[in-house]
């Protein structure tokens, strides 16, 4: 059977559209189906968009995030409905919506059910996948299935765990992967890394250091591998273990992506983040002492945020020399606590999913207007990723940070070019 899996193109504001790092979900599913004897092709539109009219396949699988849902549905319409299966985070959050465009929708993790669906053994319109309890049983992802994907890639994503016990009010991770951590063994990861030819690795776990004992085993292996550079996502509390940080640095960690979320302590409490500003400052200092760069991720627009919060965030990032930042606008993803609260208060004014990418305001904030929040975040972004700041870093020989600032400058510039009219803000009513 011929199966085509598709990852719809990212929005213009998504940095992953610039570095072409694929979602792992379609690659895992494609590898499983290939191992079962099927002919599999994967298309990531950010890398290569095929002529869909020329695609002949028995099954079309489309994996959607909320921001790519509209594009995913557009692709689905190009094929007979009885051939289309839709999965991914957004489909798991709103399966009845996705069902309008497909014969079947998979909710949750699909690895355990995809074979039965393709073979016709499971015919339910909405199929509930079960969490993969033993992640060591997953095959190593075969990236050669992705059309147009150059190997070895500049950076290769590697998953070592799923789930998160924290339940931040704006996050959809627990809706997809649950609140229980599941880990691959260090030995299983080691074998995958031996086959990865890329010199750069991104550990895409939501919290890479969640199991310190297993993390140490993996880091010891990375030390022996040498000459590998990698990035990961961690919480601030990773900085409390100085010996672990030292081992991360020795093992080749060059960037830690940390969800700081806010410099407003009231907002941190509302987000249910379970961390303090003091812990954020300590984490920044600790990572920098180990020569590990920081990509700081902030979410702006909580009910206790105002215009000053936006600029306090920028000043905080500059003062503490955070290397790169992501200033996301609070996005009420379906199924999250934030969505439920804003929906109840009738404050969401747009359900155009393409705007749900963290860079468009789609609800009415409390302490400032939607337009004020949108424009101030953009101005703060532009200030941080200015050409001047890029040149300063270049002159100081910080070439990597200068390159990343230049990339950020281009993303902001492209976003402004595509959104100059701010047309979606008219939907709030007061901007008409």
pLDDT, one tens digit per residue, over 113-165 is 999 999 999 999 999 998 999 999 999 999 999 999 998 888 999 999 987 76
Taken in order 129, 134, 137, 141, the sign of the CA dihedral is positive
> Average pLDDT for residues 403-422, to the nearest whole number?
83
> Average pLDDT for residues 409-426, to the nearest whole number?
82
When pLDDT is cut at 50, 70 and 90, the band that residue 225 belongs to is confident
Q: What stretches of 366-398 show up as alpha helix (H) in DSSP?
A: 370-384, 387-395
Name, in order, each residue with C-beta under 8 angstroms of 46's C-beta and a sequence gap of 6 or more. 7, 9, 10, 16, 17, 20
**Lookup: tokens for 367:** 């302490």
Strand 2-7, strand 104-107: pairing:
unpaired
Q: What stretches of 121-211 show up as alpha helix (H) in DSSP?
A: 173-177, 186-195
Q: For residue 152, is the peptide bond before it cis, meaning its omega torsion is within 30 degrees of 0?
A: yes
The fraction of the chain above a pLDDT of 90, given in percent, is 75
Quote the mean pLDDT of the chain.
91
- pLDDT for the residue 297: 95
CA 52 to chain centre: 26
Burial class (CB in 10 A: 0-12, 13-18, 19+), 120: exposed
When pLDDT is cut at 50, 70 and 90, the band that residue 273 belongs to is confident
When pLDDT is cut at 50, 70 and 90, the band that residue 94 belongs to is very high
39-66 pLDDT per residue, tens: 999 999 999 999 999 999 999 999 999 9
Q: Which domains does the chain have, with CATH numbers?
A: 2-128 (3.40.50.280), 152-345 (3.20.20.70)
When pLDDT is cut at 50, 70 and 90, the band that residue 411 belongs to is confident
Angle at 27 between CA 408 and CA 334, to 5 degrees: 65
Where do we find the tokens 């961690």?
234
Name, in order, each residue with C-beta under 8 angstroms of 400's C-beta and a sequence gap of 6 or more. 293
Contact by Cβ (8 Å): 90, 69: yes
Distances (CA, A) of 402 to 13, 175, 397, 411: 19, 37, 8, 14
Beta bridge pairs of residue 3: 40, 59
C-alpha 71/C-alpha 84 separation (Å) is 14
- pLDDT for the residue 17: 53
**Lookup: tokens for 204:** 């895409």
Of 427 and 167, the structure prediction assigns the larger pLDDT to 427
The answer on pLDDT for 252 being more than 50 is yes
- pLDDT for the residue 49: 95
Strand 39-44, strand 104-107: pairing:
unpaired
Name, in order, each residue with C-beta under 8 angstroms of 88's C-beta and a sequence gap of 6 or more. 23, 25, 62, 63, 64, 65, 72
Kindly report the backbone phi and psi dihedral angles of residue 14, in degrees, each rounded to the nearest multiple of 5, phi listed first.
-85, 120
Where do we find the tokens 């007979």?
80
C-alpha 222/C-alpha 371 separation (Å) is 47
**Lookup: tokens for 320:** 């503490």
- pLDDT for the residue 169: 59
Q: Which of 176, 148, 109, 155 is nearest to 15 (CA)?
A: 155
The fraction of the chain above a pLDDT of 70, given in percent, is 93
C-alpha 282/C-alpha 15 separation (Å) is 27
Contact by Cβ (8 Å): 321, 288: yes
When pLDDT is cut at 50, 70 and 90, the band that residue 180 belongs to is confident
Helix (H) or strand (E) holding 418: helix 399-418
Angle separating helix axes 242-250 and 277-289, nearest 10 degrees: 40
Instruction: Name the 3-class secondary structure at 199.
Output: coil
The answer on pLDDT for 407 being more than 80 is yes
Beta bridge pairs of residue 296: 258, 325
The model's pTM is 0.91
**Lookup: tokens for 249:** 């640095």
C-alpha 51/C-alpha 69 separation (Å) is 20
When pLDDT is cut at 50, 70 and 90, the band that residue 99 belongs to is very high
**Lookup: tokens for 310:** 């936006």
């Amino acid at each position: 059977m011929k199966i085509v899996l598709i990852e719809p193109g990212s929005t213009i504001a998504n940095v992953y559209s610039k570095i072409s790092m694929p979602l792992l979900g379609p690659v895992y599913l494609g590898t499983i189906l290939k191992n079962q004897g099927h002919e599999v092709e994967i298309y990531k539109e950010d890398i290569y968009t095929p002529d869909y009219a020329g695609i002949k396949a028995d099954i079309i699988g489309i994996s959607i995030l909320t921001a790519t849902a509209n594009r995913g549905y557009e692709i689905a319409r190009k094929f007979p409905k009885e051939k289309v299966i839709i999965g991914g985070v957004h489909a798991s959050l709103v399966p009845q919506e996705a069902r309008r465009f497909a014969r079947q929708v998979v909710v949750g993790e699909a690895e355990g059910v995809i074979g039965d669906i393709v073979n016709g053994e499971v015919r339910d319109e909405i199929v509930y996948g079960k969490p993969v309890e033993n992640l060591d049983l997953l095959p190593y992802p075969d990236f050669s299935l992705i059309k147009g994907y150059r190997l070895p890639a500049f950076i290769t994503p590697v998953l070592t765990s799923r789930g998160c016990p924290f339940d931040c009010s704006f996050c959809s991770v627990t809706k997809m992967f649950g609140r229980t951590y599941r880990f691959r063994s260090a030995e299983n990861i080691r074998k995958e890394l031996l086959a990865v030819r890329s010199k750069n690795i991104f550990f895409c776990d939501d919290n890479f250091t969640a199991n310190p004992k297993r993390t140490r085993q993996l880091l010891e292996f990375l030390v022996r591998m040498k000459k590998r550079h990698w990035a990961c996502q961690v919480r601030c509390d990773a900085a409390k273990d100085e010996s672990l940080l030292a081992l991360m640095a020795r093992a080749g960690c060059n960037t830690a992506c940390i969800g700081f979320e806010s410099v407003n302590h009231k907002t941190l409490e509302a987000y249910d983040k379970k961390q303090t500003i003091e812990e954020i400052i300590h984490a920044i200092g600790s990572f920098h002492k180990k020569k590990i760069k920081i990509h700081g991720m902030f979410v702006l627009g909580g009910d206790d945020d105002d215009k000053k919060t936006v600029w306090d965030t920028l000043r905080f990032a500059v003062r503490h020399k955070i290397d790169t930042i992501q200033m996301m606008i609070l996005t009420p993803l379906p199924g999250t606590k934030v969505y439920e609260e804003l929906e109840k208060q009738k404050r969401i004014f747009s359900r155009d999913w393409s705007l749900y990418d963290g860079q468009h305001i789609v609800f009415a904030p409390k302490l400032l207007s939607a337009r004020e929040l949108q424009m101030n975040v953009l101005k703060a972004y532009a200030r941080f990723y200015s050409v001047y700041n890029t040149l300063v870093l270049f002159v100081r020989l910080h070439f990597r940070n200068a390159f990343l600032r230049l990339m950020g400058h281009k993303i902001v510039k492209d976003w402004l070019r595509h959104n100059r009219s701010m047309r979606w803000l008219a939907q709030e009513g007061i901007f008409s």
